[in-house]
Amino acid sequence: MFQVLRRLLGYARPHVGVLVAAFLCMALLGLGTGAYAYLMGPALRFLLSGGENGFGGAQPVPWLSSVSRETALWGFPVVMLIVGAIKGVGYLGQFYFMGLFAQKTVADLRRALFIRLTSLSPAQLGRERTGDLLSRFTSDVQAVEAAAMYTVGSYLRDSLQIVVLAGVALSLSPLLGGLMLCVLPLAALPASRLTRKALKGTREGQVQLGHIAGQLQEGLGGMRTIQAFNGQAAELERFSSHAREHEEALVRAAWARGGVPGVMEVLAAAALAGALAYAAATHAMEPESLLSFLTAVVLVYQPVKDLGRVTQFAMQAGAAGERLFSLLDQRHPVEDAPGAASAPALERELRLEDVVFSYGERRALDGLTLSLPVGQVVALVGPSGGGKSTLTQLLLRFERPGSGRFLLDGVDADRYTAASVRAKFALVTQEPLLFSGSVLENLRMARPDASREDVEAAARVAHADGFIRALPEGYDTRVGERGAKLSGGQRQRLCIARAVLSRAPVLVLDEATSSLDPESEREVQAALAQVLPGRTAVVIAHRLSTVVDADRICVVEAGKIVEQGRHEELLARGGRYSALWSLQSGAERGAA
């Protein structure tokens, strides 16, 4: 817990200057308050005596005695106004700078989270629920924000007050003061047990909140399916169970948290009663000293209680910090080696050599060797789950082979930065993915400096230009969240246009035509027939008829390439490919 808080403080360190400004404002506020108290005595005397002799009498500062009635009459309200203004500035500055400090700290934290999220591999992201990730950005970061806002200042201010008041108490009566100081650590024992309980509850609460957010996000995305299967009741049951656990955890935490000031209250009363009893029994102290001592004791418990109160924010931040760091500490499976260079232009081939790769215990590639010569189209076919998509994950450096090598023109890819290797590929996936924004913005994502002519040319190649022009605002039409305003076929053609526009030397089409209707598929196939020849490409396809023209077809099964060659050669061989071909042709004839 302390380690987590220390790491969180690391995010606050660059903003210490703002914190110092906040403390200066707090000091100004303190001075203003002190000045009010200080002026109260002379003011009362002035008013009670009718102001005949100005302030008169013995004043804490001698020159006040010589202030005349006239001067006091206009001077006193002016001084009160000035003190009020100083306090006002102090208040304003304190809140402004503490707010600024908290916002700057969490802005850095959010940025670090965003950078980490955008640099995780698809498999790492696949292990997390999106809603849960979102809740780290919202509720967990908010918990850190509250702690930065209230805890840091209070710890410094209240600790200082405790030290000063304890010093006063000790100077008035070393024995009673010493006893009082002993009571404080005594309070720490039950308080720390209660604090641990509260922390456990808070942590569980945050986890349950993550589950709720995860379910909500998943549910909203899949509401059509839930309603189609009348699954609302089951969803409600799941939601209620998380909500119940969330509530119970937070109630347990609130119970334990409330116990801390309770314990402090009892101990404060015990310390007061003890001091009174001792003083009464021994007559060891003068009445004014006893009064001052008791005042110090009463006053010291207020900052102690305040510390307990703001500690709950620190606890919440600690629990949130654990969840944030569990994400921030994840490392991409393919991190750049020190001194990694940028990959040069490809000249001969990409090669995976004797590659083994597993997702946890599950082996997906089992000693696979694949060569991708520059300028050739290689198709990957084979049964579902054979390892085709995993192979593309390795090529794009989303994953590192467990053993075996990935070579670019004979040089191990580990010698190059992952980003520079990834830049060699333009990927079109099974699910056509667009972002909210215009058609133009979505296409330019592949090459931000592409001219309008280049964008339109790429769209023409992907047979997308026609339908884009027919949209209400042409290339400036906004496509909606995830491209919701377009049909699946239109989305896919935009994704293909984006890949064409990128000018990356290797095209990876992972089931790129899978979501197209027969008409659109024919159009895109025609477009690809135009793009692919002479280009280096990996084409994953379930429909064998779409890859008959490939330079080489590889049948991937159980993590290995079991057969490879051109379409005619493979048919003539009468092996796995030929069996798959007969199966599909038979099925298509049956369907017709």
Task: List, as own/partner pairs, every contact residues 103-106 make where C-beta atoms lie below 8 angstroms and the sequence separation is at least 24, other chains included.
Answer: 103/145, 104/14, 104/15, 104/18, 105/11, 105/12, 105/15, 105/144, 105/145, 105/148, 106/11, 106/141, 106/144, 106/145, 106/148
Closer CB to ligand ATP, 101 or 357, in the complex = 357
Stretch that binds ligand ATP, among 137-145, 219-227, 388-396, 513-521 (CB under 6 A): 388-396
CA–CA distance, 32 with 24 (Å, rounded to integer): 12
Stretch that binds ligand ATP, among 73-81, 176-184, 387-395, 570-578 (CB under 6 A): 387-395
- Is 362 an interacting residue with respect to ligand ATP (CB under 6 A)? yes
Smallest distance, Å, CB 503 to ligand ATP? 26
Closer CB to ligand ATP, 506 or 556, in the complex = 556
| DSSP run (H or E) holding 529 | helix 518-531
- Is 494 an interacting residue with respect to ligand ATP (CB under 6 A)? no
Smallest distance, Å, CB 113 to ligand ATP? 22
**Please, which residues have CB within 8 angstroms of residue 337's CB and are 6 or more apart in sequence?**
414, 415
| DSSP run (H or E) holding 577 | helix 576-591
Q: What is the DSSP letter of 65?
A: G
- Is 385 an interacting residue with respect to ligand ATP (CB under 6 A)? yes
Stretch that binds ligand ATP, among 61-69, 158-166, 380-388, 483-491 (CB under 6 A): 380-388
Q: What is the DSSP string of 241-260?
A: HHHHHHHHHHHHHHHHHHHH
Question: Phi and psi of 508, rounded to 5°?
Answer: -115, 115
Longest C-alpha distance within the chain, in Å?
123
- Is 400 an interacting residue with respect to ligand ATP (CB under 6 A)? no
- Is 139 an interacting residue with respect to ligand ATP (CB under 6 A)? no
Considering only residues 187, 209, 304, 364, which one is a binding residue for ligand ATP as defined by CB under 6 A? 364
Closer CB to ligand ATP, 127 or 452, in the complex = 127
Smallest distance, Å, CB 352 to ligand ATP? 13
Place of tokens 């707010």: 99
- Is 367 an interacting residue with respect to ligand ATP (CB under 6 A)? no
- Is 361 an interacting residue with respect to ligand ATP (CB under 6 A)? no
- Is 126 an interacting residue with respect to ligand ATP (CB under 6 A)? yes
Smallest distance, Å, CB 360 to ligand ATP? 6
Q: Dig out the tokens for 581 from the structure.
A: 């071909």
Q: Which residues of 448-476 are buried (b: 16+ CB within 10 A; e: fewer)?
A: eebeeebbbebbbbbbbbebbeebeeebe
Considering only residues 284, 359, 583, 586, which one is a binding residue for ligand ATP as defined by CB under 6 A? 359
Considering only residues 206, 390, 490, 492, which one is a binding residue for ligand ATP as defined by CB under 6 A? 390
**Please, which residues have CB within 8 angstroms of residue 160's CB and are 6 or more apart in sequence?**
none
Considering only residues 388, 400, 491, 567, which one is a binding residue for ligand ATP as defined by CB under 6 A? 388
Considering only residues 54, 93, 261, 386, which one is a binding residue for ligand ATP as defined by CB under 6 A? 386
Closer CB to ligand ATP, 274 or 383, in the complex = 383
Q: Dig out the tokens for 238 from the structure.
A: 């799941």
Closer CB to ligand ATP, 118 or 384, in the complex = 384
CA–CA distance, 476 with 460 (Å, rounded to integer): 16
CA–CA distance, 392 with 355 (Å, rounded to integer): 12
Smallest distance, Å, CB 207 to ligand ATP? 22
Stretch that binds ligand ATP, among 311-319, 386-394, 409-417, 499-507 (CB under 6 A): 386-394
CA–CA distance, 453 with 387 (Å, rounded to integer): 38
Stretch that binds ligand ATP, among 379-387, 472-480, 513-521, 531-539 (CB under 6 A): 379-387
CA–CA distance, 147 with 310 (Å, rounded to integer): 8
Considering only residues 121, 124, 312, 389, which one is a binding residue for ligand ATP as defined by CB under 6 A? 389
Residue 561 pairs in a beta bridge with: 556
Q: Is 151 exposed, middle or buried (0-12, 13-18, 19+ CB in 10 A)?
A: buried
Closer CB to ligand ATP, 283 or 362, in the complex = 362
Stretch that binds ligand ATP, among 150-158, 245-253, 378-386, 484-492 (CB under 6 A): 378-386
Counting residues that bind ligand ATP (by CB under 6 A) gives: 12
The answer to whether the CB of 521 falls within 8 A of the CB of 512 is: no
Q: Which residues of this protein are in contact with ligand ATP, per CB under 6 A? A: 123, 126, 359, 362, 364, 384-390
